[in-house]
Structure 1
Amino acid sequence: MIRDHLVAHEWQNAQQETLGTVTLVYNHHIRQLSEKLVELQHHYYHSILAATHVHLDHNLCAEVILIRAPAMQIQQLADHLRQQKGVLHATLSISSTGVHLA
């Protein structure tokens, strides 16, 4: 619980390098949505550590994106991804690089 408070404090400093995970559920049949999501990820290529794509069924996909960047940049990317037409759900999970937790 104390570490959760420390992580939240790190995220209050918009320039503090942090770790975040964006989870998306989206309909891949929406015109050009997959291309837009990839384009956004390429724009943040320097911050994205990994991305995993899963086919949930014939229409739906899930994507989990691990990002290491200043808190403000992670929030911006999450917001841009969330705003795309066809994204049914998007969530941002905040964490820490661990530097200030030891």
Structure 2
Amino acid sequence: MRRITISVNEELAQQFDDLIERHGYENRSEAFRDLLRARIEDERKSSGWTALHGVATVTYIYNFHERDLAMRLAALRHDHHDLCVSATHVVLDHANCLETVILRGKYRDVDAFGKVLVAQNGVRHGNVHMVPLHLDTPSLGVHQHRHFQPGS
């Protein structure tokens, strides 16, 4: 690991220490590494780097009894089966359900589809959490299995 040294004024140092305490970091180095990684990924995303792949968790709450909403959400996931890795459905109470969908694929496609899911009329409290990936051979949710062949 390479060591770097930075100098900041007292006010900024105190704000950084407060951030470390609020987020539960063990030390300044861990906090600084997270901030630096986030900034680098933001730069990549804003520059439109199309080779970037990503995974996302898309979590949203919706009213199960709202007209056709559950069916629309399921149809969207089926229409984008190439991006959808998994979906979990949790009944919160008589009317409210929570779903978490895991997506994987080209960063731009995953981000756009996640936003489509949470923007559906009737979806409440939606959130898309994107994580960029750098993969040599990205699997887009389709697993290739070698099937047993007698005599092989």
Q: TM-score, normalised by structure 2?
A: 0.58
RMSD, aligned CA: 2.0
Shift of 1:79: 2.2
Question: Is 1:3 matched with 2:37?
Answer: yes
Looking at structure 2, the residues matched to 41 and 9 of structure 1 have their Cα atoms a distance apart, in angstroms, of 29
Question: Is 1:20 matched with 2:56?
Answer: yes
Deviant stretches of 4+, over 2 Å = 2-15, 96-100
Match of 2:77 in 1: 41
Higher relative contact order (CA 8 A, sep 6+): 1
Looking at structure 2, the residues matched to 10 and 54 of structure 1 have their Cα atoms a distance apart, in angstroms, of 34
- Aligned pair count reads 100
Looking at structure 2, the residues matched to 98 and 80 of structure 1 have their Cα atoms a distance apart, in angstroms, of 24
Q: TM-score, normalised by structure 1?
A: 0.83
Shift of 1:5: 3.4
The partner residue of 1:66 within 89, 102, 105 is 102
Structure 2 unaligned regions, length at least 5 = 1-33, 137-152
Match of 2:93 in 1: 57
- From the CA coordinates, give the structure whose radius of gyration is larger: 2
Question: Which of the pair is proportionally richer in strand?
Answer: 1
- Identity, % of aligned pairs? 27
Structure 1 unaligned regions, length at least 5 = none
Give the 3 Å change call, closer, same or farther, for CA 89–71 of structure 1 in structure 2: same
Match of 2:27 in 1: none
Q: Residue 20 of structure 1 aligns to which amino acid in structure 2?
A: A
Give the 3 Å change call, closer, same or farther, for CA 20–61 of structure 1 in structure 2: same
